[in-house]
Each structure stands twice: as structure tokens, then as C-alpha cells.
Structure 1
Amino acid sequence: MVGINSTVAYTLDHKRVVLTLEERFLLIDYEYSSSGSTLGCFSSVACINSSFHSSIRHESIVYYNIIWAELASARAQTQLLCLRIDYCIVKNDLKATFSRSSFLVDGSEEQNCRAFTEALMNRAYRNTIRCKRLLVLINPFGGQGKATDRFLKLSLPIFDAARCHVDQIKTEYKGHAMDLIENMEGLEDRYDAIVCCSGDGIPHEVFNGLSKRKNAGLAFRVPVCQLPCGSGNALCVNLVGSNDLPFATLSTVKGVPIPVDLCSLTQGDKRYVTFLSQALGMIADCDLGTENMRWMGESRFTVGLVMRVLSRAKYPCEVSVRIAHESRSQVRRAYQEDKSKNHERYDDSVDAEAVASRSLPSLRYGTINDPVPEDWKIINTSTLAIFYAGKMPWMSSDALFFPAALPRDGYVDLVLIDSAIPRLEVLSILLNVQEGKHFDSKQIHYYKVDAYRVTPKAHSGFISIDGEKFDFTPFQVEVHPSLGTVLSRTGFYQAPGV
């Protein structure tokens, strides 16, 4: 017996192993004799002369990467037990591979090893719950039609190892996920998270489905997350820091719920919920006008953008904004002040009945059909190149368009770029978007706003909301602080900030 923080075991080929619970990881020490023989013995394994000089090989597994550990009978008619540990091998680029290690334990060490195993599990799930109940919505048309196969091959084995309860539903038509979420009975009590195995279109539908439920206030507390299986996987990149499917699956197993701002968008007589972005101009054109290039994956956005910059595309419109922070120094100061507040998680003591009584929040600034409030700034332009508003930092894995965005600061980050800027300067700005360095460019306008309105002046074009095509008509957006919930890897967005 070694103690609850360590245990002695043997590999399947009888090499002696000491497993130790360190502060941040499980340490595994493999012991070898100088002659290559194994060291030590126990009752059900033949003893080897242990007088030889020994050497030790060290391995470690970060607790976050450990999916499950259990002790079970190893072989019939023996006193051996088997300690099995399921985990992910995670590389520096946040790409993961599912793996499993098994060790033999003498029956006389069962009590100590069970205590060790439970202590290991407590560390592995220190900040989250075990055995999550997951509703997985799969878009079978996403990821060039490979979403279902990729989920079954790369995600389901990890969920099974984590003892997650998984209900899978394949969407059959546009809007199907919204209909499912709006009408599903007992959704709030049945699931710990809604997992979108798709691009960003299914999360958009899910948030809108939640908004249509009678108890929307409570429904919005069900966390939403994404397994990256589409051409745009911004939600996953922001929450996980990677668009690797196995790592995103691990992050779902270990994720913690955090509140996030959502936005209402009114257009015509309709009201929608948007969680990610709103765009008009080059960005919308690249998002929606490159459908014939979907085979290129995320690269289609870059190719489409370069084509439009070179052609000096212009998008005349009127932009009305309620600006909270206008200068770059104000935005940076606001980011630093709000960053610490944005690390807070849900208070489980919140009165559930009070939350459930709230429907979708009322609109503070009216709808697109109301007059523009007098304190809003109005920008009339005939040379706008890019109108882009976002609630998350990353718009794709290589586009840190809104580096100052926070989960719940109550603002939308807004970027305006004029087509009068020299083409090489525009290309330079867009190249810097990959690392968020465009933030300091004097050629762009970067605001934090809590509401705005856009009125296109052209007869036709594209408006992209969360990557989805909307009518090319005026629309208005306002922020609802901390309305939604997402499942985050660490409790905040995976972005460097400003």
C-alpha cells in the first residue's frame, strides 16, 4: 500500500509502474532493470530478481485530458484487477488523439487502488460534472457531407468513454434544429448541453429555437457548444481554441457553462437572435457569394475577399450607432476593465423559478420600424467596403476580427472600412486580421456599441447574420447582456485580447 495519492501497478507485460497524483497531472513512472527485465513482483505474477540496477521512464497526463478511470476484474480465476485509464493525447497545436492505458493491480491493493481511482476522477472533473447528458444535433450535409461519419468515428468513442448520455438527431431541412429546440418537451431538465455537430448555422438555429420557448429565460441557461463539422466553425474556435474535432469533443466533456451576451435583430416585422456576427459589404459577399467555392473550406472566404478588394467593391448605406467606446484607447481600456468580470461563471443559487418566468427580453431601442433614437450617431456613406459587427473574437480559425470582444461586456464590436483606402492598404489590413493586428490600424474604425441600425442604399446584395443569408433590407441590432449560455473549455474565450 502506497497511499491515496499514489498506487503501484504493472503493465500487461509485467513492468512495475508507480502512478502518482501530482498537482496538475497524473505522473506514471515505468521501472526497468539494467538487463531489461521487469522489477518487483506480486501474488499473481512471477517474481523477478529485483537486485539489478533500475531505470525509470516518466510519462504524464494532464488531468484535463483524462476522460475516465475505473478498476475492474482483469482475468477470470485470478486475484488481478485492471486499472483502465481513457484519455486524450493532446499536441501543442491542440489536436487530440483518443488513447487508453491499462495496468494490472494485485487484489490485495484493491481498497487503496479504488480510493486512488476516485481521487484521480475528482481531479479529472474538478471544474465540471461527469457523465453529461448531451443532445447532439448533426447536420449530415455539413463538412462536405462527412459530418455524420466524422462524429461516429472521432467524437462518439470519446463520449462513450466519458459515460455521456448521447441523444443524436440528424437535421433534415433548413430550420429543422430551430423547430426541434422550440418544441422539445422538457429540454431544460433532460440535457446538460446542446451539441451542434455542424458549422455555425445550427447554433444560430438553436439559439433562435430557445428564444421561441415559453420559458425562454430558463431555456437559455442550457449551454450550447459546437463540434466543428462545417465550413465555418467560429463558435468552436472561440470556445475551444481549436477546430480539431477530437479536441473539441474532449472540451465538451470537460467544458464549463458560462453566460454570454446575445443580440436581438429586427428586420421587417420579424425578430431574430444572433450570437456571432452581422455583416454587409465584402465580408457578407465572401460569406454568401462564394457558395460555389464550398469545396475549398474556410479558404473560400480569403479568396473571395481578395477578389473584391482588387475590384474596389463599394456598398452605399446609412449606419446609425449608439456608441459606447469610440477611440482605440477607450476600447482597450474598456476591454481591460471588463475582462476580469467576464471570467465569472453562473451562480447556481439563482432562483430557477425567477429565471423561468422571463421570456425574451423587451427591446430597449424599439425595432427597425421605429424612428432612430436622437442620441445615435448617423454615418452616411457611399464608399463603404466592410461593415462587420461581432460578439466573439474569432470569425474563423484564421480571422481574429474582433480581438477586443468579450463574452458579456454588453457591447457588440463594430468594424468599418472604407473602399477609398488604397487597395494594398486594405489587403495589408486584412492580412493582419489573422493575428488581430489590424486593431491598431488608423485606417479602420473600431467601436464598441450596444445597438445599431443599417439601411442599405443599393437595390441588391448580401446581408450575413451568423453566416446565414438574410433579406437585403434594413435591420436593427441590440445587445442583451448575459442572455445565453455556452460550454467553454476554460470559462472564457480563447483569444489573446488587446
Structure 2
Amino acid sequence: MNQDSIYAYTIPDNGRVKLTLDERFIRLEYSQSLRDHNTFPAGCLSSVSCISPSSFNSKQNPSILYFNILWAEVSSALMSDFKAALTIDYCTTTEKKTAQLQKLTLSIDAEFVDSCNEWIQKLLQRVYNASAGVVRCKRLLILINPFGGQGKARAMFQAESLPIMDAARCKIDEVVTKYKGHAAEIIENMENLEELYDAIVCCSGDGIPHEVFNGLSRRPDVKKAFTMPVCQLPCGSGSALCVNLVGSKNVSYSSLCVVKGAPQRMDLCSLTQKGKRYMTFLSQTLGMIADCDIGTEHLRWMGEARFTVGILMRVLAKSKYPCEISVRIAHESRNQVRQAYNEHKLRPQSSLPDQEDGLPALKYGTVDDDVPEDWKTIESSSLAIFYVGKMPWMSSDAMFFPAALPRDGYMDMVLVDSKIPLSESLKILTSIEEGKHFDSKHVHYYKVDAYRITPKAKSGFISIDGESFSFDPFQVEIHQGLATVLSHSPSFQAPGV
């Protein structure tokens, strides 16, 4: 018998099945007699869903992708005729990136138990590719924000995520945050954090990841702290970290990606304002977008739809936000941005600079220092949108920064003036979902590595990673590859430019 194959029997049909380890999946071959049955044998599976009787009669055999497999083991006897049973925990997945937990149980002949255990070890080595950094039986710190989104985060985790993590034999510690800033305090003060856990999982919107990165920045050994992978389960009104890393807002599928994720380095930014330094992983905005984010808190019950309603109201009102922007532009034209994107999109982690000890020094000082001479200054009395991002998707229906990359060492900046025709504003608004606003002549799109913005209005909103900040000048600069996230892919889940 091929060392990559074992034989088992369906329950209760007692039909013989050959399970073979292929390059990317397990292939199941049922005996010919079972192919003639009117009903498919118990325990059927495929890489997407169980195969129906009609499709089973074709030449295609059922299979399951290694990515979808959570665990396999031989357990005690289920029937007197057989010594043991092989169980495989896995998820069926769809093209829309949803997942559903399943279990396949097959009987094993007594004489094949030892060889089955050896086969399982080979299977688990492929299911959890250690050379790619995938850890099996992950130790996970779950931070749950019970107030995020519509207040259903804990229930969503218990119902949709925990069963998958349990099936993958993950070790779970749940902590429910009690107030704003609590997650940052937990991460900053937890002893032996890096030794206790393989990843921090934020069961929340984007506020908890923001707190986690800031908590890591305040730990005694910052260099070591930022090697801790951070990820997100989409349980808030905004779940951009998850959408960019996973490409889905389905909690079950996102949980599968946590189980199968490996550490990936990602850029992080420092922001200085009023004598303090913060870390920002997602975005910074003043003007229309900030108004739609912070200024629509009373519409939180609408979920992500509140952002669409808010921005439409402000576009129709031709809202404007006077400010002064000083910026260090690296790539300015569309061709330059596309060229930079193509040069960096496949950049390996090994090519990134080594991290410094401690929090990286600020190359350009703080917002209280003089603006460097080589920065470009833009004065605007009619700016509508000032938006800077580090990821393509700002929400599941807004790919605001299609040229953003995980570790290219740049932020993507978008500027739009309020003086453009209303029809063009609406055209930009409706094209953001697919990132097609990138080609609009009314959108200024830059790759930058540092900037400062000074609002000229007396009051307004500033949103940093979706969190409300003081309406005062602030300065931001990039730190290439400083943070670590947990992802099943080295790239963001976006089509690019």
C-alpha cells in the first residue's frame, strides 16, 4: 500500500474507501459497488461541499483541501467489528468565503491502526505547514469587545468561532474588555505575553486592534512585543483588519483563517499630537470621511450602512474642511504609484530591514517641530476629503486605497476638493467600492512616507483607525514592517491597481 494512502470504511454502509494524500488535498476513492448506490455513502465531503449523487457518478472523486482540515485522529471503537474510528474535523467552504464545521467518521481495521496514525501525522504536517510558520494547536488570547458593533460580539464568537477553534485543538483564553482603553492596558501589562500565546485575536471592530498595537508599543521589550501576531474576527461595525487579511466578513471563515494563519510582517505608523505618540495601523482622516465615521455614532444601529448615509449627506451639502497639509511625497503620478505597487507587491518578508531595539526613532520629529524643508505644503480652503490609509479596504464595501500594500514602506493618501461638480462627486462615491476612483482626474492619489495636517476650522472631527482624536494638528510617519499580523496569505485580499 502506498505510504500516502490508507483504507477505511464508511459508517453505516461499510463501504471501502481509499484516502490518499495529494499535493493540496486528501482524495477519497469509494469502492465501485458504492458508486452504483442511489444514495451517496455517509461521510461524503469535497473541497467546497458534499458531492451530490448525480455528480458523484462522474469521474470526479470527492476531496478536501488541506487548508480546510482542522484535525484528524484515531479514537476508540464505534462498532464491534472494528477496532477504531478515524475522525477528520474540517470545514466546508464556499467561493463567497463562508465556512461550516463538519466531521467525517470512518471505521479502521485493527491491523491498520498503526499505519493510520502514521498517515495522520503526515496529514497534519501538510495541514499545518511549519516551514511556512503555521502553528498547530495555537494558544490564542481572545479579546472580546462586548460594546462593539451591535453588541453581539461575544455571542458571535461563542456560536461561530469557538467550535472551529476547539475542533483545531486551539487553547483559548477569553478576556472581555470593560471600557475604552482596557485592551491596551491588558496588552501593556500582561506578564510573559509572548511566551503564553501564539497570537492575539480581536473579536471586535477596528478599535481593539488599534488598542492592541498601542499596548504592544508600551511593553518593556518593544522589539519582541511587535513579533506577536495580531488578527481580528469581524464582530464590529468596522472590521477592516479582517477584511484586508481574510477577504471576508464571515466569522466562521475568518476563524478558519486564524487557525491556518502564519505571522506576516506589516507596516505600522507613529502619530504625534499634543505631546503624545500613538501607533496607527489603518487610517487617519479629517473632513468628510471623519464626519461620516465619528459624526454618525448615533446611527451605529445601521452597521456599515451608516458610513454610506453619512457621506452621501455631506457630498450633497458640498461640505468643506479648510486645512494645511505638509507631506513627503514618494510617488505622485498614477504611473509612479502603479510602478511602485508592482515593484513591492511580491516583496518577501526576508527583504525587510531588521527591527530596532525599542520603539523606532521618529525620523521627522513630532508635530511640534519645524516642517522639514523637502516636504510639499498644500493650502486648501475647500478640501472635502483628506484620507490616508495603510490597507486597501476601509470597510467591506469601500476599497479606498487599491494600491496599498502590507509592507511597502508607504502610506496611501487621497485628497478630493469640494469644488468639483456634484455629478463627479457622486461618480467618485459610487466607484469607491471597486477602487475605480483611483483613475478619476478629480482624485489626488499619492504614496507618502510622512505628513502633517493642520485643521483651520474651529471644530470638527479627526478619526484615527476609526477612533475619535482631538481636533488639533497631528503628524504621521511610517515604520516599515514593524508590526506582525496573523494571515493565511502574505498579501492583502484586494485586486490591486
Superposition TM-score tier, normalisation by shorter sequence: over 0.9
CA distance in 2, matches of 1:131, 1:123: 14
For this pair of structures, how many residues does the alignment match?
A: 476
**Equivalence for 1:21:** 21
Identity rate, percent: 60
Task: Give 1:256 shift.
Answer: 1.1
Paired residue type of 1:257: P
Describe how 1:249-268 pairs up with structure 2 within 5 A: 249-268=255-274
**Equivalence for 1:48:** none
**Equivalence for 1:69:** 72
CA distance in 2, matches of 1:324, 1:90: 41
Do the aligned partners of 2:345 and 2:491 also contact (CA within 8 Å) in 1?
A: no
Paired residue type of 2:359: L
SS at match of 2:363: coil
**Equivalence for 1:330:** 336
CA distance in 2, matches of 1:185, 1:102: 41
CA distance in 1, matches of 2:29, 2:246: 31
Gaps of at least 5 residues in structure 2 are 42-55
1:344 paired with 2:349, answer yes
Aligned residues: CA RMSD = 1.9
Paired residue type of 2:268: L
Task: Give 1:187 shift.
Answer: 0.7
**Equivalence for 2:452:** 453
CA distance in 2, matches of 1:64, 1:382: 52
Task: Give 1:488 shift.
Answer: 1.1
Alignment partner for residue 95 of structure 1, among 82, 95, 98?
98
Deviations 1:255-301 (Å, cap 9, x if unpaired)? 01111110000001111000000001111011111111111111111
Alignment partner for residue 165 of structure 1, among 163, 166, 171?
171
1:373 paired with 2:379, answer no
Question: For the structure 1 residues 33 and 370, does the alpha-carbon distance in structure 2 shift closer, same or farther, using more than 3 Å as the test?
Answer: closer
Task: Give 1:80 shift.
Answer: 2.3
1:115 paired with 2:114, answer no
Question: For the structure 1 residues 255 and 38, does the alpha-carbon distance in structure 2 shift closer, same or farther, using more than 3 Å as the test?
Answer: closer
1:284 paired with 2:283, answer no
CA distance in 1, matches of 2:320, 2:40: 73
CA distance in 1, matches of 2:489, 2:481: 17
Do the aligned partners of 1:282 and 1:385 also contact (CA within 8 Å) in 2?
A: yes
Paired residue type of 1:216: V
Do the aligned partners of 2:149 and 2:238 also contact (CA within 8 Å) in 1?
A: no
More displaced stretch, 17-26 vs 409-418: 17-26
Paired residue type of 1:266: T
Structure 1 ranges of 4+ moved more than 6 A: 54-57
Task: Give 1:3 shift.
Answer: 2.5
CA distance in 2, matches of 1:489, 1:110: 32
**Equivalence for 1:230:** 236
Describe how 1:32-431 pairs up with structure 2 within 5 A: 32=34, 34=36, 58-75=61-78, 79-126=82-129, 127=132, 128-341=134-347, 343-344=348-349, 358-431=357-430
CA distance in 2, matches of 1:445, 1:346: 30
Question: For the structure 1 residues 477 and 195, does the alpha-carbon distance in structure 2 shift closer, same or farther, using more than 3 Å as the test?
Answer: same
SS at match of 1:18: strand
TM-score, normalization by structure 2: 0.93
CA distance in 2, matches of 1:485, 1:38: 45
SS at match of 2:265: strand
Question: For the structure 1 residues 95 and 35, does the alpha-carbon distance in structure 2 shift closer, same or farther, using more than 3 Å as the test?
Answer: closer
Deviations 1:17-48 (Å, cap 9, x if unpaired)? 22121211111233316466999xxxxxxxxx
CA distance in 1, matches of 2:76, 2:205: 43
SS at match of 1:143: coil
Do the aligned partners of 1:266 and 1:475 also contact (CA within 8 Å) in 2?
A: yes
TM-score, normalization by structure 1: 0.92
Task: Give 1:112 shift.
Answer: 2.0
Task: Give 1:71 shift.
Answer: 1.1
Do the aligned partners of 2:82 and 2:107 also contact (CA within 8 Å) in 1?
A: no
Do the aligned partners of 1:399 and 1:433 also contact (CA within 8 Å) in 2?
A: yes
Deviations 1:105-138 (Å, cap 9, x if unpaired)? 1111112211221111111112311111111100
Do the aligned partners of 1:403 and 1:495 also contact (CA within 8 Å) in 2?
A: yes
Do the aligned partners of 1:317 and 1:458 also contact (CA within 8 Å) in 2?
A: yes
**Equivalence for 1:49:** none
Gaps of at least 5 residues in structure 1 are 40-53
More displaced stretch, 328-337 vs 357-366: 357-366
CA distance in 2, matches of 1:395, 1:457: 26
Do the aligned partners of 2:387 and 2:414 also contact (CA within 8 Å) in 1?
A: yes
CA distance in 2, matches of 1:4, 1:102: 21
Question: For the structure 1 residues 106 and 326, does the alpha-carbon distance in structure 2 shift closer, same or farther, using more than 3 Å as the test?
Answer: same
